[in-house]
Structure 1
């Protein structure tokens, strides 16, 4: 892939190369041909989680001031999870400007998203109605999450 240096920085080129050569287990990555700052990921649900049978599509976009600002990430697969809302926004600490550090790599972001699937944070929900279900009836939350995996994440 050849891109002008105005579009993509050496840091992004290096991270992309590393990501394509050593993709983490349970992850498939595609880099947009039109925009090298735009990544599409297929992320396998973590083993032992409600989401283990699913493959989740996640879009990650690197803003123009990356790595000084965190990537933007969105779930494109519908998922019943307290930290992911109905439009796919993700509540994950490292994606927040005040918690982000330029030392983090795209790979770490993807692994953190995969980890979040298996370890919902009920203390910092993005979708409080889903968090309420997880708190009030874990069995119902598990059933619904697994149903949504079958419906949307195959």
Structure 2
């Protein structure tokens, strides 16, 4: 199976296993080594703290020339994550560079959880609340974390 996987993907996967990112667990799928199951701990000091979030990460055939795709499988209240779990993050779109890696993407998603960007929203309702009443938005995000990310 690894014959058709690029050396780059194999090296990144090995590095993630040997030198894991704190608060992030990444496992390549048995049937498809371009598909990863990700467990992400809610960042400390964020409304997601204490939560455990499941994500999927997929590397397209032309990775690293094309950005990976990431999606939350755990329900989350966040201005940059829609109800289908899609993530609005510049490096997953127009700011992607082949110099970036899976590790960078996951760290960026974790950082986005700590610092939402309501100006670049996928969930407009959450973004509007974040702009008008950040304390209330964080309260809802924390409630959802307790309800869905345990």
TM-score by length of 1: 0.95
Moved >3 Å (runs of 4+): none
Q: 1:4 to 1:24 in 2, by over 3 A?
A: closer
Q: Which runs of 5 or more residues in structure 1 are unaligned? A: none
> Is structure 2 residue 26 aligned with structure 1 residue 32?
no
Given candidates 117, 136, 145, the residue that maps to 1:149 is 145
> Is structure 2 residue 39 aligned with structure 1 residue 12?
no
In proportion to residue count, which structure has more helix?
Answer: 2
Deviation per CA, 1:10-55, whole angstroms, max 9, x where unpaired? 1100110001111100011111010000011110111111111111
Q: Which runs of 5 or more residues in structure 2 are unaligned? A: none
Given candidates 114, 117, 124, the residue that maps to 1:128 is 124
In the alignment, the residues of structure 1 paired with residue 73 and residue 8 of structure 2 have an alpha-carbon distance, to the nearest angstrom, of: 26
In the alignment, the residues of structure 2 paired with residue 138 and residue 35 of structure 1 have an alpha-carbon distance, to the nearest angstrom, of: 40
How many matched pairs? 150
TM-score by length of 2: 0.97
1:4-153 residue pairs with structure 2 within 5 A? 4-6=2-4, 8-96=5-93, 98-153=94-149
